[in-house]
Chains A and B, each alone.
Chain A
C-alpha cells in the first residue's frame, strides 16, 4: 500500500468530516477559552485550564471550538507530541469534558 492510498483515505475522511462539521457541538472548554480571550483574562480557573495554558498554548493558539467526541484523540496526540504527563493528560481530558 503506497502513501497515495493513505492520502486518499485522509481526503475521503476530510470531505466527510467537512459535511458533518456543522452538526457537531462545540467543545465547552475551548469556548470558555475563547470567552476569556474576549475579556482579556488569561488567568486559569481550573487545574485543567492551568495545564491547557501551560502546555497547549506554548505552541499554538486555542482552536475556537471542537467536538467533545475527539477530546480523547486530542489528549493522546498531545501526550505523545508534547510529552505531557499522565496526570496532566487526565486533567486535560476532564477539562475538555466538564
Chain B
C-alpha cells in the first residue's frame, strides 16, 4: 500500500518555514500522545480501492483511490482526526482522440479537533464533514459504502464541498436503555482556500435511536448564508432488525431547487454456516432512488431532469478486510435511459501509528 501511495503523490515542495512548522507540530503531537496510556495510541485507518465504471458502448473508466485516516488522542478528552483522499481517474479521451487520459485529485476531506467537554457535550473545531442526513458522515468512506457510487441526492444539503470550516457542538443529549437522542449543530465560515473550501452556512441534525427495535429516525436542516440564502431539509430512517444481517436505510432530502430520496436494503444469510461461510460472505443489495427538480435553476449536483434509478449490487466480503463490490444500475430520465456497470475491490486497514506494548 505505501508503494501505491508514493506513486500517486506529487513530489512535496515544502518551504523551509513551513517545514519547520510541520516538524514542530508533528513533534508536539508525538510528545503529547506518546506518553499517554497504551490504549490511546494514535491510529491509522482507511481504505484503498480500485474501481471501474462503464456504460454500454463506452470505454471503461478506472479509478484507483486511497483514503487514509488518522486519529490521535491527546489525553482522554481531546482527539485530533483527519482523512485525506487520493484519486486517480483514468478515462477514455473525448471525441475522436484514441487512448486514455488521466486526472488526479489529492485533498483533505476533513481535519478537526474534538474536545469531549462533558458526557453530553463535545466541541469540534476545524474543517469537518457536514452532518446533513447520514451519507456524508457515516457512509461515504470507501471501506463502508455498499455501492461504489453515492446516491443521486448525496450532495443535497452539503453546500458544494460537503465540509464546513468553523465549529460544531454535538453529543448524546439523552441516553436510556430503551432510547437515545443525539444532536449536532454547527456554523461554518466562508473559506476560499482550495484545500478547505467551504461556504458560510449553519445547520444541525438530531436523531432518535431505539436500540431494541434497531430503528433510527433523524431530521437535518441547514441554511446557506451567502449569496442567495437557501434552506435544505433532510430526513433519514435506518432499520436493522435484531439478530439478523438485514439492513434497510433511506434518506429524503429537499433543497431550494430539487428534492429526492434513496432507499437501500442489504442482506447476508446466516443459514449456511454463519456470516463467514462461503455463502454468508455474499451480500446482495438493492437501492431505489428518485430525484425531482422543483425548478430549472441549477445550484446543486442533482440531475437536471426528473430521474429514477435502481441499483442492484452483489458484494463479497473476503477475509482480511477485503471486499469486492459490484453493481448494475438502470437509470431512467427524459434526457435518456442508461445502464451503468461498476466493479471494485476495497481493502480496509486499521493499525496503531507506531509500535509499542499493550498494557
**Chain A residues packing against B (C-beta within 8 Å):** 1-11, 13-18, 20-21, 23-25, 34, 36-43, 54, 57-61, 63-64, 66-74, 76-77, 79-88, 93, 96-97
Cβ of B240 within 8 Å of any chain A Cβ, yes or no, is yes
Find A80's partner among B41, B68, B114 (CB 8 Å cutoff): B114
A53→B18 CA distance, assembly (Å): 44
Measured between beta carbons, the chain A residues less than 8 angstroms from B172 are: 83-86
**Chain B residues packing against A (C-beta within 8 Å):** 1-2, 5-6, 9-10, 12-14, 18-19, 21-22, 25-26, 37-44, 46, 68-73, 76, 79, 81-82, 84, 86, 106-108, 111, 114, 116, 119-120, 122, 124, 137-139, 143-144, 170-172, 175, 180, 182-184, 195-196, 207, 211, 214, 216, 238, 240, 243-245, 270-271, 273-277, 280, 317, 319-321, 348-359
Mostly helix, strand, loop or mixed at chain A's interface?
A: helix
Q: Evaluate contact between A81 and B137: CB separation under 8 angstroms.
A: yes
Known: A1-B21, A6-B84. A14 touches B1 (CB 8 A): yes
A23→B355 CA distance, assembly (Å): 8
Interface Cβ pair total, 8 Å cutoff: 220
Q: Evaluate contact between A2 and B73: CB separation under 8 angstroms.
A: no
Known: A6-B82, A63-B350, A79-B122. A68 touches B238 (CB 8 A): no
Measured between beta carbons, the chain A residues less than 8 angstroms from B137 are: 81
Q: Evaluate contact between B111 and A14: CB separation under 8 angstroms.
A: no
Q: Evaluate contact between B5 and A20: CB separation under 8 angstroms.
A: no
Chain B residue nearest in CB terms to A5: B22
Measured between beta carbons, the chain B residues less than 8 angstroms from A17 are: 44, 349, 351-354
Q: How far is the CB of A58 from chain B (nearest CB, A)?
A: 6
Q: Evaluate contact between B195 and A74: CB separation under 8 angstroms.
A: no
Measured between beta carbons, the chain A residues less than 8 angstroms from B207 are: 83
Find A14's partner among B2, B38, B41, B143 (CB 8 Å cutoff): B2
Q: Evaluate contact between B144 and A68: CB separation under 8 angstroms.
A: no
